[in-house]
Amino acid sequence: MALLPILNYPDPRLHTVAKPVAEFNADLKRLVQDMQETMYAAPGIGLAATQVDRHIQLIVIDTSKEQNDLLVLINPKILNHAGMQTYEEGCLSVPGVYETVTRAERIKVEAQNTEGKKFTLEADGLLSVCIQHEMDHLKGKVFVEYLSPLKRNRIKTKMLKHAREIERNNY
């Protein structure tokens, strides 16, 4: 297994639209394992393939405290949604930034597992928020795009400044 580098906002590759997974092979299973390890190490509760510069419709999620309840969603689709909730979200591609976003409270999702078998899942609360956040990544959307242009630009400036400082310290 391997830790994968995570793209940082405002990297333009985060706006790539992911393609459906067509082949359920050993390479896909290896990527799932690497993403799982990367998410747990970060630590995070979700990771989309987009964030590790792989532009296929693949998400890993684990909202358990013990990091022992992995959910893998391939080619996920929201079948229906109900209600609204607001949650203070974070993102491994926007480290140190937490902002409130409003999303559907309950969702029903259809997805495939690593064998290509279809299944459905009903989610509410944090799991529902996390699935919607990760599915946005697959569409090329980062959660800061729900914020006002003023807030978003401040975050962009802060992230670029931070990246420049890291680069300077590496020389």
Mind giving me the DSSP string for the chain?
Answer: --PPPPP-TT-GGGGPPPBPP---SHHHHHHHHHHHHHHHHTT-SEEEGGGGT--BSEEEE---TTS---EEEEEEEEEEEE--EEEEE--TTSTT--EEEEE-SEEEEEEE-TT--EEEEEE-HHHHHHHHHHHHHHTT--GGGGS-HHHHHHHHHHHHHHHHHHHHHT-
Is 37 known to be catalytic?
A: no
Among 4, 14, 35, 91, binds ligand K1U (CB under 6 A): 91
Nearest distance, CB of residue 133 and Zn ion, angstroms:
6
Residue 85: HSE in the Cβ half-sphere, 13 Å Cα cutoff? 18
Q: Does 14 bind ligand K1U (CB under 6 A)?
A: no
State the binding partner of 90 from ligand K1U, Zn ion, none, CB within 5 to 8 A by kind.
Answer: ligand K1U
Interface pattern 26-55 for ligand K1U (x via CB under 6 A): -----------------xxxxx--------
Q: Does 18 bind ligand K1U (CB under 6 A)?
A: no
The rounded distance, in Å, linking the Cα atoms of 44 and 26 is 25
Nearest distance, CB of residue 151 and Zn ion, angstroms:
16
Nearest distance, CB of residue 147 and ligand K1U, angstroms:
14
The token duo for 166 is 């890291």
Catalytic one of 89, 122, 134, 145: 134
Nearest distance, CB of residue 63 and ligand K1U, angstroms:
8
State the binding partner of 44 from Zn ion, ligand K1U, none, CB within 5 to 8 A by kind.
Answer: ligand K1U
Positions annotated as catalytic residues are 134
Q: Which residues in this chain contact Zn ion in the complex, by CB under 5 A?
A: 91
Residues near ligand K1U, by CB under 6 A: 43-47, 87, 89-93, 129-130, 133-134
